[in-house]
Copies of this chain bind each other. A is one copy, B any other.
Amino acid sequence: MSILSRGARLSPAISRRIRRTPYTSRAISSGASEFTVVNHTLLPKAYRKTVAEDYWHLKTRVQIWDVGCQRQVEIAGPDASRLVQWMTPRDISAARIGDCLYLPVIDRDAGMVNDPILLKLEEDRYWLSIADSDLLLFALGLAQASDMNVRVAEPDVSPLAIQGPLSSEVASAVFGDSVRGLERFKFGAFEFRGTSQIVARTGYSSQDGFEVFLDRGSLGEMLWDAVFEVGRPLEIAPGCPNLIDRIEAGLISYGNEVTRENNPLEAGLGRFCSLDRDIRCLGMPALRILARRGIRRRIRGIVFGRGSMPPSDGSLEVFAADADDRRVGTIASAAYSPSLERNVGLAMMEKPFWEAGESVVVRTGDGQFEHGEISELPIK
Name A residues whose Cβ lies closer than 8 Å to a Cβ of B: 1-7, 9-18, 20, 24, 34-37, 40, 42, 45-46, 51, 107-108, 113, 132-135, 137-146, 243, 253-256, 282, 308-316, 331-336, 365
Contact = CB atoms under 8 A, between A and B. Distances in A.
Nearest to A283: B144
Contacts of A17: 2, 132, 253-256
Contact of A51 (B13, B18, B313, B314): B13
Contacts of A1: 6, 10, 14-15, 18, 20, 24, 42
B314 A16 contact: yes
Nearest to A45: B11
A345 to B, nearest CB: 9
Copies of this chain in its oligomeric complex: 2
Contacts of A137: 113, 133-135, 137-138, 141
Nearest to A345: B14
A107 B140 contact: yes
Given A11-B34, A14-B315, 9 more contacts: A1-B6, A3-B7, A20-B313, A40-B255, A107-B140, A140-B141, A141-B143, A145-B145, A145-B146
B40 A132 contact: yes
A7 B7 contact: yes
Nearest to A148: B145
A86 to B, nearest CB: 8
A20 B243 CA distance: 20
Nearest to A38: B17
